[in-house]
Structure 1
Amino acid sequence: MTSTTDSGAGTDAGTDAGTDADAVRPTLRGLGRRWRQRREAAAHLRRLLPYARPGLVALTLAVHVVAGAAPVAFMAGTGFALQRVVTGEPATGWLAVALVAFVVQQLLAPVQLVLSRKVQRRVDAACIERLTSFAFHGATLAGLERPDVADRLAQAEEAFEQWTLTPGAALEGALALTARYTQLVGAVALLAVVVGPGAAAAALAVALVARVGQTEGFFRWGRLIRSFGPLRRRVTYVRELATGTRAAKEIRTLGLVGWLEDRYVAENRAVLEPTWRWRREVYGAPFVVYALVAAVGSVVALLLVARSGADVAAVSIAVQAVALCGRFGVIFPESDVKLVYGRSAWEAMLELEDAARRTGAPARADGAVLRPAREIALRDVRFGYTPDRPVLDGLDLELRVGTSTALVGVNGAGKTTLVKVLTGMYTPGAGSVLVDGTDLRGLDPDAWQRTFAATFQDFLRYELTLRENVAMGAIAHVDDDEGVAAELRRVGLGDWLDGLPQGLDTPLTRAVPGGRDLSGGQWQRVALARSLFAVRHGAGVLVLDEPTAQLDARGEAEFYDTFLDLTRGVTSLVISHRFSTVRRADRIVVLDGGRVTEAGTHDELVALGGEYARMFEVQARRFTDGSPPAGPAAGHADDDVEVAP
């Protein structure tokens, strides 16, 4: 019986202990996780220190320590001076201490600011260089197009655009905390000396509880703000769409002003409503608890001071010290906001680099150009933007050096994707790209990409001078005015160039005085001149993606007439829906379903009677009778609505 009772009691006790342990474990796990997060945050900041240089960091810390000690010396000076006045003794010495401390504090304030800004600028300059280097050399195009990478890149760019909440500001804010904690240590030490350890312990507890509450809230808030990145990016896009000039004509002519205003409000509310909700959760009830704990601790510390029977000096010092400890529950403007948002920008940069490594970052090149001697071949290449939807599916293609190849196919056949794989911007999931028999994976991607002179369908319109717009094809030769002018004349812009008052120095934007805006056709000619300028200075492969899409009929005819001359002796790949262009190529390739289905000359493919012949018949019929195509070819015309003569 006794045994059974003892056993039962033991079981109950064990159950209660187990319940208590189960209740404690999540709390301990949470504390452990939070401690690890703080250590990781500190480690991130330490990685920024070398950018600021040790000498500057040491000097800044020393100034912060002295600036933090000055208020403590002021408290001691005023307190002991007051005691001397009460007792009728001379107070000159202690008043001098207080005065010197006050003057030192005032003099060091601008020095702290200057040194902090210098730390920030050095760190930010290094971070911008690192971010730029990553974008140019450390990331593949596939990596930059990933949504998670785009969110982090936008966050880092936003920080540097504002120039306030940057990684440099985070390090500056962390160093500035030295002054605050110097004040805290000094105040608690003074309190322990003049009143006793009890009051000092109570005041220290007030400061630490208040500070932990503040930093914990800021830490949680910073993580939440980062989670809103995709939503903020959408707001930014809608705002730039509404305020920029790129879509201004369509917005007004289509009557989209009201719709865009409503959309902007909706996107903003999608960010602000969860922001408000999370703000109440983070800064609501938890801060009430922290405030109550701090208030109780402050009252306890003051009661201990009152019961200690201390003299006037001790009471004066103690009241100031307790007040200083209580103020640790407020936001430190020189540190807290900068630490949360600036460190988030730095962490976004680190995650960007990690994402680039996972994507397979290319190595930097030494400026060399890889020129194929015999052929470029794609063997059984497979690639898809998502694993379940291949764009290129078992593609085989040879580009013989010194010949022109034309690529045709319906929209979505994979023509532009093929170019991105060919140039090394994307790595095929299977198969290989061979340069004279060597797999492209074993070659320097930057050097390989410099082999190409490409005019893409969505070519860039640089808001720079005409000279720079053309010389972008081989920017090292930007001073070759003769070459720039020659290529502009080759693409039919000679007379226009002669009529420009500033010639090659004309800015191609109306945003600056004397600038010119161009028509779509003129911009396309400038883009063509850019590629030809690159060929002029060593590029060995010319890629033209819809090279006449924005030219008028006469300009298109002129281009066709000079096409062979423009590409003679160059390994060229032309993508076009217009058969008057492709029929002049040495070899024509039809792409369908992510693979080559037909290849040959124009006459050979027409005689074959396959897909190419049917598409050619559609265009020829439009030329001859101007009526919609009929019969079996009509379906192909519907698939390829962009086909034009």
Structure 2
Amino acid sequence: MTSGRRSLPVRLVHGVRVAGGAFALMWQAAPRTVLLSLALQVSGALVSGGMLLAVRGMAGTVFGPHAAAWRPGAVAADLALLAGMLAAMALAGSLQRGVGMVLGERVGWYAFRQVLDVACEVELAAFDSSEFHQRLQRAQGSAHRPIQMTEQLISLAGSVVTISGMVSALYLIDPVLVAVLALAAAPPLVASATFGRKLFTAVVGLGENDMRRHYVRSLMTERNHAKEVRAFGLGRYLRRLDRDLFDERLTIMRAVARRTSVHALVAAMASALGILSGVGLLAYSFATGHSSLTAAATAAVAVVQLGPMLSNVTYGLGESYEHALFLSDYRAFCARGETIRRARERARLPAPRDPATITAENVTFRYTGAVRPALSGVSMTIRRGEVIALVGENGSGKTTLAKVLSGLYEPQGGRIRWDGVDLRDIDAAGVRERTAVLFQDFGRYLFTAAENIRIGRPAAPADLARVQHAARQAGAHEFVSALEHGYDNVLGSELPGGVDLSLGQWQRVALARAFFRDAPLVILDEPTASMDAFAEHRLFKGIQNLFAGRTIILISHRFSSVRTADRIYTLDAGRIIEAGSHDELMAAGGTYARMFELQSSAYLREAAATPVGRHHRPAGRA
């Protein structure tokens, strides 16, 4: 049953259930702060009820049957009590604001941490799905809902207790007034719940719009796109696109506002009519002699005070129902993390410490929404200590195969075995622990140079000598040492004191990260794409020595870089079409040989066209 078709009682029950979940979230985040907040709310509410009774007693003294005999001293005690209660309420309110602020921060952090848990633990394939990105964005947007619901619940708790105290006092004066006020509170509750449901439906429907707006705005605000936005003069175009997307969103939100405003107006009029009925009932009761002037006046004040308070509470309940809808969606997203954790807790075999063989058996893999498989019927065996090269045109499946072999992706068909054991039966974290990867689109972290390298193995001790050793192996030590603060210098100009690097220097830092990880399986995806020719030559000349004893999967478009590999696989359209050493593949005269000769002839033509004296021109910034 969809939320749109649920009856009001069912929706309210669902809202109460989710509100209970929100309270549980509050309790998990900060139990002592919750208790303190509730204690302050109850104290303030009790004082409110006592104030009403104190006013009634003082009115009886002044206007009651013995009013002629009263003296100023007769009400001094009541005035002192009333002043004390006012001071107590002010103190409780002041403390409550501070406690509520701290509690909101604690709950907000705790709620967003759960979203981050899922984002970090979910399988890599999920990030290839637009549906997951929409749910992730909604969960991120809803992470503030627990804060709002926390504040709402705290406010409602205090208001409900306050109203309970006043209603109890009112019940002693005239029980019929309680029923009248309850009827007056019903219309705003219905209207507010309707608004919450329609708003949630609209927000879910705007998921794609929100994602597009976020992306368009990132193009205008992020450093990575700044140069191209200016080079192509995209600013006006992107601003117009952002405006069109915003107008689309605004049109939908205005429609929601128009539909719900009518309900709100009718509800407000009905509620006001109920309050007026209560006042009229009191006037009639006094006129007919059924109640005294003191009782009628006190009850009239209570009714007038309670009217707005009840409206606020009912609208608050409606807002809580709105929060509950978003929180229900948020909790469903976070439950995914719990499912992943339970799956990992099942009996899983430990990953081999240093696998002797890695085998692919008829592996098939297709990306979400892709027309054809990225891999189809791939079979191969890699032995410990081998250097394996994957070559082929863009989109041939090289990077995907490397990710599947290392357990980052799970194949839809066939299997990957490490030492004969299916990766599906091995602890995934253990597999990744034994893999070092340098992706072509490597990360550039706005951390210090040392941290950029050390996060290759974040659990390792902060050993600067080991960090420097990894940097030397990657050819990064010289330029990192030359920075103003050396390895303590922040990389990236976006942060204060940070310094930017050339793309080739960033790639060497990323390579140092792979060295620092010190894993038995090393995947190098275009490891020299941003390096100059000299750095590339030095790296590949010593790659077998630098990664001695480790299994290396090397992906490269530069055939001169892979010719020393133990075995070369040529991929085309997700299939392996050739395999062998460089000499074997050249002798076969197939695709590899043609591509190698084509690339070699291009280099020779370029060298012949280059004037003497320019062959060793120092490379500029990549």
- Which TM class, normalised by the smaller chain length? 0.7 to 0.9
Matches within 5 A, 1:45-124: 45-52=22-29, 55-86=32-63, 87-88=67-68, 89=70, 90-124=74-108
Distance (whole Å) between structure 2 residues aligned to residue 246 and residue 298 of structure 1: 60
CA 1:418/1:519 → structure 2, altered by over 3 Å: closer, same or farther?
A: same
Amino acid at match of 2:40: V
Residues 357, 143 of structure 1: alpha-carbon distance in 2 compared, 3 angstrom cutoff:
farther
- 2:588 aligns to what? 608
Return the match for 1:177 from 142, 147, 156. Answer: 156
- Cα shift at 1:174: 1.4
**Alignment check: 8 A CA contact 1:166 1:342 kept:** yes
Q: Which amino acid aligns with 1:552?
A: D
Which position in structure 2 is the counterpart of 1:591?
Answer: 571
Residues 528 and 547 of structure 1 are in contact (CA less than 8 Å); yes or no, is this contact kept in structure 2? yes
- Give the aligned residue type for 1:593: A
TM value normalised by structure 2: 0.87
Kept after mapping to 1: 8 A contact 2:191/2:264: yes
Given the superposition, is the C-alpha separation of residues 45 and 495 from structure 1 closer, same or farther in structure 2, using an over 3 Å criterion? closer
- Relative to structure 1, the CA distance from residue 126 to residue 333 in structure 2 (aligned partners, 3 Å threshold; closer, same or farther) is farther
Do the aligned partners of residues 96 and 30 (structure 1) sit closer, same or farther apart at CA in structure 2, a change above 3 Å counting? same
CA contact (8 A) 1:363 1:444 kept: yes
Give the deviation of 1:213 after TM superposition: 2.9
Distance 1:355 1:475, change over 3 A: closer
Whether 1:304 aligns to 2:294 is: no
Seen in structure 2, the aligned counterparts of structure 1 residues 29 and 347 have a Cα distance that, compared at 3 Å, is closer
Q: Indicate if the aligned counterparts of 2:142 and 2:330 stay in contact, CA closer than 8 A.
A: no
- Aligned pairs for 1:161-560 (under 5 A) are 165-194=144-173, 196-282=174-260, 284-309=261-286, 310-328=291-309, 330-331=311-312, 339=320, 343=324, 346-355=327-336, 363=344, 370-386=352-368, 389-477=372-460, 479-535=462-518, 539-560=519-540
Residues 30 and 233 from structure 1, CA distance in 2 versus in 1: closer, same or farther, beyond 3 angstroms?
Answer: same
**8 Å Cα contact 1:488-1:529 kept in structure 2:** yes
Q: Which of 17, 30, 38 is matched with 2:15 structurally?
A: 38
For residue 124 of structure 1, what is the amino acid of its counterpart?
A: G
Letter in 2 for 1:170: M
Give the conservation status (yes or no) of the 8 Å contact 2:387–2:565: yes
- With the length of structure 1 as denominator, give the TM-score of the two structures: 0.84
C-alpha distance in structure 1 between counterparts of 2:126 and 2:334, whole Å: 10
Question: 5+ unaligned residues in a row in structure 2: which ranges?
Answer: 608-622
The one-letter code sitting in structure 1 at the alignment partner of 2:38 is: L
Cα offset, 1:335, TM superposition: 5.8
| Distance in 1 of aligned mates of 2:265 and 2:344 | 53
How far apart are 1:617 and its partner, in Å?
A: 2.2
Moved more, 388-397 or 433-442: 388-397
Moved more, 390-399 or 450-459: 390-399
Native 8 Å contact 1:506 1:514 kept in 2: yes
CA distance in 1, matches of 2:312, 2:389: 65
1:465-502 deviations in whole A, cap 9, x for unaligned?
Answer: 11111112122335222222223222333432342232
Mean CA deviation greater in 488-497 or 173-182: 488-497
User: Quick one: distance in 1 between partners of 2:566 and 2:129?
Assistant: 38
For residue 188 of structure 1, report the CA deviation from its aligned partner. Answer: 2.8
Q: How far, CA to CA, are the matches of 1:29 and 1:245 in structure 2?
A: 47
Tell me, what secondary structure is at the counterpart of 2:344? coil
- In structure 2, how many angstroms separate the alpha carbons of the residues matched to 1:568 and 1:215? 66
Contact 1:226 1:344 in 2 (8 A): no
Tell me, yes or no, if the aligned pair for 2:15 and 2:321 is still in contact at 8 Å: no
Give the CA deviation at 1:571.
0.2
Q: In structure 2, the residue corresponding to 1:99 is in which secondary structure?
A: helix
The aligned amino acid for 2:8 is: L
Deviation at 1:50, TM superposition (A): 3.7
Number of residue equivalences: 592
1:623 maps to which of 603, 614, 620: 603
Q: 1:133 aligns with which of 117, 136, 152?
A: 117
Structure 2 vs 1, CA of residues 28 and 525 (structure 1 numbering), >3 Å: closer, same or farther? closer
CA–CA separation in structure 2 for the residues paired with 1:212 and 1:325: 19
Give the letter for the 1:625 counterpart.
R
Closer, same or farther: CA 59–469 of 1 in aligned 2, 3 Å: closer
Per-residue deviation, 1:369: 6.5
Deviation at 1:37, TM superposition (A): 2.5
Looking at structure 1, the residues matched to 35 and 315 of structure 2 have their Cα atoms a distance apart, in angstroms, of: 18
Q: Which digits, 9 at most, give the CA deviation of each residue in 1:146-198, with x for residues without a partner?
A: 333323322343456xxxx342442342133121112222333333322x233
| Residue equivalent to 2:611 | none
AA aligned opposite 2:308: R
The 3 A distance-change label for structure 1 pair 626 and 598 is: same
CA apart distance, 1:508: 0.7
Gaps of 5+ in 1: 1-25, 628-645
Distance 2:449 2:4 in 1: 65
Q: Which residue identity does 2:396 align to in structure 1? A: A
Q: Is the 8 A contact 1:48 1:171 kept in 2?
A: no
Please list, as runs of the form range in 1=range in 2, the aligned pairs for 1:630-641 lying within 5 A after superposition: none
Is the Cα contact below 8 Å between 1:143 and 1:356 reproduced in 2? no
Deviations 1:495-530 (A, max 9, x none): 323422321111112234442200111111111111
Counting aligned pairs with the same residue, the percent is 31
CA RMSD of aligned residues (A): 3.0
Q: SS at 2:484's partner residue?
A: coil
